[in-house]
Structure 1
Amino acid sequence: MDLESSQHGPYHLIKVNAPRIDAAHAIAFKDTIRAMTAGGTDNVVLDLGQVRFIDSSGLGAIVAALKLMGPHRRLDLACLTPDVAKVFRLTRMDSIFAIHASLEDLTSRQAG
């Protein structure tokens, strides 16, 4: 799974460079996220702007990544496409994750 890591202010930004997070990619996604966030900053943001499809396995991998980070770290989501946002709403996962419309929204919330 193609993931790109960078620093965005106080956030560790992980950009998902793939159109799908599904059963075929869920284990690789979870393992890569685990490696990228090990011992890192407390605030991690997943940029899902290129993801057009997510199934229950992909959703489970994101939830597993959150759990792997532990109780004192955050995993926020940003740039959800309409179809991906709909999955998070329908499963009520939008109440578990902080979801930012854009990276600019993330920066303005941090400043405010």
Structure 2
Amino acid sequence: KDKYAVFQLGEENLNSLIAPKLKSELVIFAEKGIKNLIFDLSNVRYVDSSGLSAILTANRLWKGQGSFVLTGIEHPNVKRLIEISRLDTILNIQPSVEDAINVVHMEELQREIQDTTEE
């Protein structure tokens, strides 16, 4: 059984028009028990401060229960904003969904080993 969900934003703009709804959906995903979230931004061409806030909300929601991995940061404007805001130093960012899945599996193994040694 896969221990992660891949969420690909279908919009080109992650901005104040969709960020509030996105945050609500992320909270619902977290409450449904999705342990690890891979957030794919490969369709996104523009992110504003509300979009960054939604990304940080997701990071905060999954920090305590599993992994949050951001991927698909391909558009130069999005890449530049992530770097300028220094989110690349805070978030787990991977170049592809496949790489993100590998990271999630490794982090799951680390948690399982840690749980076993603590018992």
> Which residue of 2 is the match for residue 96 of structure 1?
90
Q: Work out the number of aligned pairs and report it.
A: 104
Higher helix share: 2
Give 3-state SS (helix, strand or coil) of 1:51's partner.
Answer: coil
Q: Name the Cα RMSD after superposition.
A: 2.1
Aligned AA (1:94): D
TM-score normalised according to structure 2 size = 0.75
TM-score normalised according to structure 1 size = 0.79
Stretches of structure 2 that go unaligned for 5 or more consecutive residues are: 107-119
**Match status 1:39 vs 2:32:** yes
Percent of aligned pairs sharing the same letter: 27
Aligned AA (2:23): K
Q: Measure, in 2, the Cα distance between the counterparts of 1:103 and 1:65.
A: 17
> Which residue of 1 is the match for residue 114 of structure 2?
none
Q: Measure, in 2, the Cα distance between the counterparts of 1:47 and 1:22.
A: 16
> Which residue of 2 is the match for residue 14 of structure 1?
7
Aligned AA (1:17): G
Higher strand share: 1
How far apart are 1:87 and its partner, in Å?
1.0
Stretches of structure 1 that go unaligned for 5 or more consecutive residues are: 1-6
Give 3-state SS (helix, strand or coil) of 1:41's partner.
Answer: coil
